Amino acid sequence: MALIITDECINCDVCEPECPNGAITQGDEIYEIDANLCTECVGHYETSQCVEVCPVDCIPKDPNREESYEVLYAKYLKITGENE
């Protein structure tokens, strides 16, 4: 699954620099995660770094975008160009 940022986001700016894929950007009101770039840090870290640093626990898995570890890892390879 990709992650999402809920409206509990307080715009504290700590998640964006932690994302190794550049999937997190400032939206109109809160930060947003580009599901096409989110690998839940698979390939980079053992845990999702944005979730680790979020002080208000507003970054759950997106129930509308279920992705297996294999799918997330394939996305990581595509984003990083490591499978070429």
- pLDDT score for 69: 95
Is residue 5 domain-resident?
no
Task: Report residue 21 as tokens.
Answer: 């894929």
Give how many domains the chain has, as a whole number. Answer: 1
Band of pLDDT at residue 83, cut at 50, 70 and 90: low
- Domain hosting residue 24, numbered range: 16-80
Is residue 46 domain-resident?
yes
Is residue 11 domain-resident?
no
What tens digit of pLDDT does each residue of 23-65 get? 999 999 999 999 999 999 999 999 999 999 999 999 999 999 9
Is residue 6 domain-resident?
no
Is residue 9 domain-resident?
no
- pLDDT score for 82: 79
Task: Report how far apart, in Å, the C-alpha atoms of 45 and of each of 18, 29, 51, 60, 65 are.
Answer: 11, 28, 12, 17, 20
Is residue 1 domain-resident?
no
Is residue 2 domain-resident?
no
3-class SS letters over 3-14: ECCCCCCCCCCC
Is residue 8 domain-resident?
no
> In angstroms, rounded to a whole number, what is the distance separating the alpha carbons of residues 10 and 55?
9
- pLDDT score for 67: 94
